[in-house]
Amino acid sequence: NAGVTQTPKFQVLKTGQSMTLQCAQDMNHEYMSWYRQDPGMGLRLIHYSVGAGITDQGEVPNGYNVSRSTTEDFPLRLLSAAPSQTSVYFCASSYSRDSSSPLHFGNGTRLTVT
Amino acid sequence: AQKVTQVQTEISVVEKEDVTLDCVYETRDTTYYLFWYKQPPSGELVFLIRRNSFDEQNEISGRYSWNFQKSTSSFNFTITASQVVDSAVYFCALSSGGSNYKLTFGKGTLLTVNP
């Protein structure tokens, strides 16, 4: 099992550019989510999905879109990158949406927007 | 609203010392889960432990132990005989109502274990 795979590991964008951060899991997990990690802020939830075709907003959704066409994949799209989106992004999944299932994290994507 | 406060922002110890990371939480729910995650310098996040609100038993796993006290809303993490490999950022997290999309992380405690 590869677990949760995120690509790319690093990315530099110019302001206004768009891009997609990829996330895939091979554990047949129902729940998937995206977090951003900023210094001194902990992890904040951007978007989440409780199953294929179902997504919802988290704490900091502005500037990001997601979709969940398959159980395995949960890409995060930056529509028009801004310097405030410079961050480390983590994708996480769990067997169910229930908190009895702990999150499994990918290795993160470090994004810099200039 | 729920909140997680990790009391120490940074801790520095010398190898073999014991160290405790304090976590205080706030929630109005009676059903909730508490977690600790470890983020070593390589950057990945690793699940360490989960506790539900109905189970106040302390837990020990090797050199790691966790003390959950509902009376003080605390879920503290102790490393006994610390090692350099324990150097990491440790996150405490709370999920109220039992849903992962209601998971709130603390801001993390950076633990540095010096040889």
Strand locations in chain B (E):
3-6, 10-14, 19-21, 23-26, 32-39, 46-52, 59-61, 64-69, 74-79, 88-96, 103-105, 109-114
Contacting residues of A for B32, CB less than 8 Å apart: 99
Q: Which stretches in chain A have pLDDT values below 50?
A: none
- The helix, strand and coil proportions of chain A, stated in percent and rounded to the nearest 5, come to 5, 55, 45
Cβ atoms of A112 and A12 closer than 8 Å: yes
Chain A, chain B: beta-carbon pairs less than 8 Å apart: 65
Give mean pLDDT, residues B98-114: 89
pLDDT for B90-103, tens place per residue? 999 998 867 777 78
Contact yes or no for B33 and A99 at CB 8 A: yes
Interchain contact A104–B (C-beta under 8 A) = yes
Interchain contact B75–A (C-beta under 8 A) = no
Interchain contact A33–B (C-beta under 8 A) = yes
Backbone angles phi, psi at A73, to 5 degrees: -115, 145
pLDDT for B17-62, tens place per residue? 999 999 999 999 888 999 999 999 999 999 999 988 888 888 888 9
